[in-house]
Chain A
Amino acid sequence: MSELEEFRTDVRAWLEENCPEEMRDGDITAEAQCWGGRQWEFQSEARKIWFERALSKGYTVPSWPKEYGGAGLSADEAKILDEERQAINARKPLSNFGISMLGPALLAYGTHEQKAQHLNGIARGEIRWCQGYSEPGAGSDLASLKTKCEDKGDHWLINGQKIWTSNADISDWIFCLVRTDFDAPKHQGITFILIDMASEGISVKPIVLISGHSPFCETFFDDVKVPKNYGEGNLSVVGEVNRGWDVAKNLLVHERGMLGTMSPLRGTTGPENLGSFAAEHIGHDSAGRLDDPALRQRIAQAQLDNWAYNLTVERMTDEANAGNGLGAKSSMLKYAASELTKRGTELRMDIEGTAAATIGADGIEYGSLANSWLYNRAYSILGGTTEVQLNIISKRVLGLPSQ
């Protein structure tokens, strides 16, 4: 038996023995996942047990080095673990922007001290991170951001505002892009900095969306003092001062990869079970076809596109593991995933007709179909709009010229 096959056998046995039955309910909504952080409380004993057992094996962040809380798995091993986990329909033990976005950037750009503190904190689910990128005047044109960061000797002084900060109200730390040089060309005066959300001068205000609910917030910085050194050589700035754009770009690639591969394309918000859903609501005609030919065609098309998309995620992952990195192609996944996700809920709304457009006396119910349908409009805007992704594909994948 090859080493990988042996690993698969071991992993399968470990999962079988350690994943509680209640945690084998597969793809659950983002809200129901385990996010960790100072404010986190496990809703059930099973969730706690599953998290702790995974943690003891380094399986909350399987591919990270052991010294930073991971299991040190190779890309092939991590893929096997993921496949075996999905095979028994087990939940991810921990989800976090720290795992999917900050972690990879720290692994690439962080010092040993930064990694030792922050990566371990993420792996253990102790710290929940949020992302401070967009500003009211810096959306698609992110590099024009203006949050001011001044050098005050032993600390940085920060003033400004971030927007669309997901879950800022329940996060513990923020990784932030700030301007340290207002005179340099816009990409060259940006610094990537890590800030404790408990710092004095930070305030957070949730944003109400068309869906009535959202994880998004505005985050305000009023004379926030950030130490240059959190102690023992653990600096607040990642990478070099004024070179934060390099870190940000690296992280955005991971963010797009994550947005491209995260769960909305499976389960209730994806198009996978739309056919049976439609059959229940609409019924069949005498030939056994869905009794609405146009809707039937749209559903079939969405499902085929979704299937081709899932296969593309699989193929690109396999190519990356074989040494051909995804690079700017992550923009293709992000573009396709967000458009497909919108299509899935649009179809569901059309299938349910006026019933789905009916809301309760207290407004749009959280978790309702109308809620997802409205919220999903944001998928092709956040993390770089569809149009920004198409610009990136044009220039960085196809090499088309700039004007």
Chain B
Amino acid sequence: MPLILNEEQEMLQDAANGFLKEKAPVAAFRKVRDNKPADGFCRELWSEMAEMGWAGIIVDETHGGSGFGYVGAGVLAEQMGRNLTASPFFSTSVLGATAIQKYGTTKQKDENLAAISSGQMLFALAVDEGPRHNPSRITFSAKPAGNGFVLSGTKTFVADGHVADKLIIAARTSGAEGDPDGITLFLVDADAPEIERERTPMVDSRNAANISVDGLEVTGDDILGELDGGYAALEGILSAGRAVLSAEMSGSAQQVFGITTDYLKEREQFGQKIGSFQGLQHRAAHLATEIEMMKSAVLKSLKDLDQDFENAGMTCSLAKAKTGQVAQLATKEAIQMHGGIGVTDEYDVGLYFKRVHVAQQMFGDAGFHSDRWAKNSGF
């Protein structure tokens, strides 16, 4: 299978590029940031995306989705990254849809997938309990009670947590903190009175929330995947998230690099274009090379998810590690090469810098993933 997009995926890319440039450019993101709507995104835009089949991009056609798989999701995310488009796409259409489609029961699929595809229902994944990603360090408790469980605990940095209709919560049903065994995923209504959600404004102006749950009663039907064996499902969902988040960061990195090279060709100092200075040229050429490496890693991770989902974990870590580094380098260099205007709010490059920082922290930064790689390789 060649490591390039097929014709259908290229058409999706062109369509996404055209639509987002028109409907959701960086200017639209600025508007959301400055007007501070309670949702943190534009619902009309989300409806339009859903109409085009983006909300159900990875959902099978039998459940109202468009069945484009993870390469399709990555193609969209890359264009969203280029335009800094804020929407529930990532939390709902990637994390939520993966969780239900890959690990849900027939009933869970029937109840949720069509609502995801139509854009009506929003999801959020609640994993981390501290400021650094660590999916096995889970203390959020699910204690057996009667026919079901009682959930209590807190979760941090839940993307789209304050707008979600459904939460997927990783809780501990047995074992000790740090133990991958004993984790169970629960699918719960987000508006239950036992759930308190506090929106946490982030430096990238995207949505996240801290969530505390106090004595929420659930039943065995609310389990997503296997009791005590939720870690494997969590890994699968996180892998999909890492790959698609990498695609978004790759789009941001490519866009900000394009803005930077344009500037190098136009800005004059000392009587010449600054792009003619070798000191800047070599840094730009190095970055261009790294961007090519990043693109290959991202595409491979998406293709692996489509072809062999269960075994795609390491390529997804590769993609997240590589994009974390390269996208940060691209945004840092963008600011530095722009000089003074690079640190102004008026200029877009700073927005990319902020978004990439948060995306890099989410689901593991480059250090987390190189450590994971080393562990998996036995050293």
Chain B residues lying within 8 Å of A288, measured Cβ to Cβ, are 375
- Residue of A284, A391, A400, A402 touching B261 (CB-CB under 8 A): A400
Decide: B281 and A308 in contact? CB cutoff 8 A: no
Chain B residues lying within 8 Å of A308, measured Cβ to Cβ, are 293-294, 296-297, 318, 322
User: Is A208 among interface residues, defined by CB-CB distance under 8 A?
Assistant: no
> Cα distance A284–B285 when bound, in Å?
39
User: Is A18 among interface residues, defined by CB-CB distance under 8 A?
Assistant: no
Chain B interface residues (CB < 8 Å from chain A): 2-4, 261, 264-265, 272-273, 275-278, 280-282, 284-286, 288-289, 292-297, 299-300, 318, 321-322, 367, 369-371, 373-375, 377-379
Decide: A301 and B2 in contact? CB cutoff 8 A: no
Chain A nearest CB: distance from B294 CB in Å? 7
| Known interface pairs A308-B322, A312-B293, A315-B296; A393-B288 also in contact (CB < 8 Å) | yes
Chain A interface residues (CB < 8 Å from chain B): 275-276, 278-279, 284, 288-290, 296-297, 299-301, 303-305, 307-309, 311-312, 314-316, 318-319, 321-322, 329, 332, 335-336, 387, 389-391, 393-395, 397-403
> Cα distance A37–B267 when bound, in Å?
55
Chain B residues lying within 8 Å of A393, measured Cβ to Cβ, are 285, 288-289
Decide: A318 and B318 in contact? CB cutoff 8 A: no
Decide: A297 and B370 in contact? CB cutoff 8 A: yes
Decide: A400 and B293 in contact? CB cutoff 8 A: no
| Known interface pairs A278-B379, A290-B379, A397-B288; A315-B371 also in contact (CB < 8 Å) | no
**Residue from B280, B295, B300 with most neighbouring chain A CB atoms (10 Å):** B300
Chain B nearest CB: distance from A288 CB in Å? 8
**Residue from A278, A304, A319 with most neighbouring chain B CB atoms (10 Å):** A304
Chain A nearest CB: distance from B78 CB in Å? 15
Chain B residues lying within 8 Å of A403, measured Cβ to Cβ, are 272, 276-277
Closest to A284 in B: B379
> Cα distance A400–B262 when bound, in Å?
9
Chain A residues lying within 8 Å of B264, measured Cβ to Cβ, are 400
Chain B residues lying within 8 Å of A284, measured Cβ to Cβ, are 379
| Known interface pairs A311-B297, A394-B285, A398-B288; A289-B375 also in contact (CB < 8 Å) | yes
Decide: B278 and A391 in contact? CB cutoff 8 A: yes
Decide: A401 and B4 in contact? CB cutoff 8 A: no
Closest to A394 in B: B281
Chain A residues lying within 8 Å of B3, measured Cβ to Cβ, are 311, 314-315, 318
> Cα distance A290–B379 when bound, in Å?
5
Decide: A299 and B379 in contact? CB cutoff 8 A: yes
**Residue from A278, A311, A318 with most neighbouring chain B CB atoms (10 Å):** A311
**Given A316-B292, A322-B4, A397-B288, 12 other A-B contacts at CB below 8 A?**
A275-B374, A279-B379, A289-B374, A300-B377, A311-B296, A312-B293, A315-B4, A393-B289, A394-B281, A395-B281, A400-B264, A400-B275
Decide: B379 and A312 in contact? CB cutoff 8 A: no
> Cα distance A400–B285 when bound, in Å?
10
Decide: A275 and B281 in contact? CB cutoff 8 A: no
Complex A-B, nearest 7 residue pairs according to Cβ-Cβ distance, in ascending order: A393-B285, A394-B281, A275-B379, A311-B296, A318-B2, A308-B293, A300-B370
> Cα distance A400–B273 when bound, in Å?
9
Chain B residues lying within 8 Å of A296, measured Cβ to Cβ, are 374, 379
Decide: B4 and A390 in contact? CB cutoff 8 A: no
> Cα distance A287–B318 when bound, in Å?
23
Decide: A303 and B265 in contact? CB cutoff 8 A: no
> Cα distance A306–B292 when bound, in Å?
13
- Residue of B276, B288, B300 touching A311 (CB-CB under 8 A): B300
Decide: A304 and B289 in contact? CB cutoff 8 A: no
Chain A residues lying within 8 Å of B272, measured Cβ to Cβ, are 401, 403
Decide: A314 and B296 in contact? CB cutoff 8 A: yes
Closest to B283 in A: A390
Chain A residues lying within 8 Å of B369, measured Cβ to Cβ, are 304
Chain A nearest CB: distance from B314 CB in Å? 9
